[in-house]
Amino acid sequence: MNKVLKFFLDNKEKRETIVNKDIRVYGWEFEYDYHMTGSLTKYLFEDFEVIENIAPITNDNRDGRVKPNYYITVHDTGDTRDYHNAGFWSNVVKVQEWEQGHYSASFQYVTGNDGIFHNIPDNEIGYHAGDSTYYDYTLYDTLVTGTNNNPKVTISEDGYYEVDGKKSVLLAPRVHREKNGEVVLDRLPKTSDINDQGVLCKLIDGKYFIGETYYSPGYGLISNRGGNNNSIGIESCINLGSDIYLTWQKTAKLVAHLLKENFLEMSDIKQHHYFSGKNCPQTMRMNGLWEHFLSLVSFERRILDFLDEGYIIKLECDDPNVDSLGRIKKLTDKTIKYKIITIYNGEKEELELEL
Ligand SMILES: [Zn+2]
């Protein structure tokens, strides 16, 4: 068996763990209940296609400044109205006009059942992360040494960052809020003030470096800079009547391509929350499906390497409850039989699987 088929076999979806549950979809206008069912595989059997719809450079939401990318930022629109799909949002960014008047935000991509739309060039600043455009991705030496690639950052009693419990020389931002020019909150920061995705901390040559951080008064959490300036922002639609899991798979495919093109790693994928403390992407966060989304990206990323090596990968499934992309329309008690077919250098191999 070739490595592609082995990968599908080793990572096949199982009845016990496949997503098949009622979730709540959150929107600023209204919420709704939705039954989410996963796909036959974590790879979406669809060609990667981007619809170019770049905003004019004269738009005030098109910054135009070019910056390096260190992150991919994932959002959801928080907009549940049925006709607010990806095409709708892409045009809003382009024409800067919608029901609520002038639209001044912008993001590189928006995904939905209707496709993946590209609005702002990947290497330009977008206005989506809420962390301003005054600060670039920067690393500061903590003077703490170690070997942990996944260190935990906390804050000491006197307000300094600690890495794996070791006090650094870097002060964490003060918890400070003003209202109508008056200070209404001002105190030393605590570990519990850090957003739930943490603070950027990189191990480089045995030394820990911490990123540029700030206290976000709007959401009351210590957050990271570099969202607007140094990340590719992706909005994902959650509109009523759409197949949200399909949108997430399309998003995962897009993220996988962007990781590869920008030489980024899985740990560089961040929620909007990381940059401002906002509860976004809210539907993934509130339903505990962020890690699942990352598993979709990781699967797509691996398959992308196989495709680039020259493998052609196809799905064959006659089950009436499964479509050509591998989306399960309805999961019944009946076993679903399917085949993964690969063609490489003209040689065809296949693997029979069931769910
Ligand atoms: Zn967001």
Q: Measure 178 CA to ligand 1 centroid, in angstroms.
A: 24
Q: Measure 273 CA to ligand 1 centroid, in angstroms.
A: 7
Amino acid identity, position 227: G
Q: What's the average model confidence in pLDDT over 330-334? A: 94
Q: Measure 130 CA to ligand 1 centroid, in angstroms.
A: 8
What distances in angstroms separate CA 54 from CA 99, 119, 167, one per listed residue? Answer: 21, 4, 46
Q: How far apart are CA 200 and CA 4, in angstroms?
A: 34
Q: Measure 179 CA to ligand 1 centroid, in angstroms.
A: 24
Cβ atoms of 349 and 342 closer than 8 Å: yes
Q: Measure 218 CA to ligand 1 centroid, in angstroms.
A: 14
Cβ atoms of 38 and 11 closer than 8 Å: no
Q: What's the average model confidence in pLDDT over 311-328? A: 98
- Interhelix angle 244-261/290-309, rounded to 10 degrees, is 50
Peptide bond just before 281 cis, omega within 30 deg: yes
Q: Measure 18 CA to ligand 1 centroid, in angstroms.
A: 27
Instruction: Say which DSSP state 19 is in.
Output: -
Per mean pLDDT, which range of 22-26, 141-145, 178-182, 280-284 is the poorest? 178-182
pLDDT, the chain, mean: 97
pLDDT of residue 168: 98
Q: Which of 278, 326, 267 has the alpha carbon at shortest distance from 301?
A: 267
Angle at Cα 183 formed by Cα 180 and Cα 189, nearest 5°? 135
Q: Which of 230, 224, 211 has the alpha carbon at shortest distance from 139?
A: 211
Q: Measure 236 CA to ligand 1 centroid, in angstroms.
A: 9
Q: How far apart are CA 146 and CA 172, in angstroms?
A: 20
Q: Which domains does the chain have, with CATH numbers?
A: 20-132+228-308 (3.40.80.10), 139-214 (no CATH)
Q: Which of 226, 51, 219, 39 has the alpha carbon at shortest distance from 125?
A: 226
Q: Which of 51, 68, 44, 134 has the alpha carbon at shortest distance from 268?
A: 68
Q: What's the average model confidence in pLDDT over 150-161? A: 97
Q: Measure 294 CA to ligand 1 centroid, in angstroms.
A: 17
Q: Measure 269 CA to ligand 1 centroid, in angstroms.
A: 13
pLDDT of residue 284: 98
Residues within 5 Å of ion ligand 1, judged at the Cβ atom: 75, 272, 280
Q: Measure 74 CA to ligand 1 centroid, in angstroms.
A: 7
Q: Measure 125 CA to ligand 1 centroid, in angstroms.
A: 15
Q: Measure 305 CA to ligand 1 centroid, in angstroms.
A: 29
Residues whose CB is less than 8 angstroms from the CB of residue 184 and which lie 6 or more positions away in sequence, other chains included = 177, 178
Q: Which of 95, 99, 71 has the alpha carbon at shortest distance from 84?
A: 99
Q: Measure 73 CA to ligand 1 centroid, in angstroms.
A: 8
Q: What is the 3-state composition of the chain as percent helix, strand, coil, each rounded to the nearest 5? A: 20, 35, 45
When pLDDT is cut at 50, 70 and 90, the band that residue 277 belongs to is: very high
Q: Measure 335 CA to ligand 1 centroid, in angstroms.
A: 39
When pLDDT is cut at 50, 70 and 90, the band that residue 116 belongs to is: very high
Residue 36: how many other CB atoms lie within 10 Å? 18
- Token couple for 239: 């509109």
Q: Which of 193, 149, 143, 196 has the alpha carbon at shortest distance from 172?
A: 193
Residue ranges of the alpha helices (H) in 152-271?
227-230, 244-261
Quick one: what percent of the chain has pLDDT higher than 70?
A: 100
Q: How far apart are CA 251 and CA 297, in angstroms?
A: 8
- Token couple for 169: 């020389």
Q: Measure 251 CA to ligand 1 centroid, in angstroms.
A: 14
Q: Measure 329 CA to ligand 1 centroid, in angstroms.
A: 28
pTM: 0.97
Q: Measure 120 CA to ligand 1 centroid, in angstroms.
A: 16
pLDDT of residue 313: 98
Cβ atoms of 354 and 340 closer than 8 Å: no
Q: Measure 259 CA to ligand 1 centroid, in angstroms.
A: 19
Q: Measure 346 CA to ligand 1 centroid, in angstroms.
A: 45
Q: Measure 175 CA to ligand 1 centroid, in angstroms.
A: 23
Q: Measure 84 CA to ligand 1 centroid, in angstroms.
A: 16
Phi, psi at 156, each rounded to 5°: -75, 170
When pLDDT is cut at 50, 70 and 90, the band that residue 56 belongs to is: very high
Q: Where are the beta strands (DSSP E) in 146-256?
A: 153-155, 160-163, 166-171, 175-179, 182-187, 201-204, 207-211, 213-216, 221-224, 231-236
* Residue 55 exposure: Cα atoms within 13 Å on the Cβ side: 33
When pLDDT is cut at 50, 70 and 90, the band that residue 295 belongs to is: very high
What distances in angstroms separate CA 92 from CA 59, 69, 236, one per listed residue? Answer: 11, 24, 14
Q: What's the average model confidence in pLDDT over 16-25? A: 96
Rg (CA), the chain: 22
Q: Measure 248 CA to ligand 1 centroid, in angstroms.
A: 15
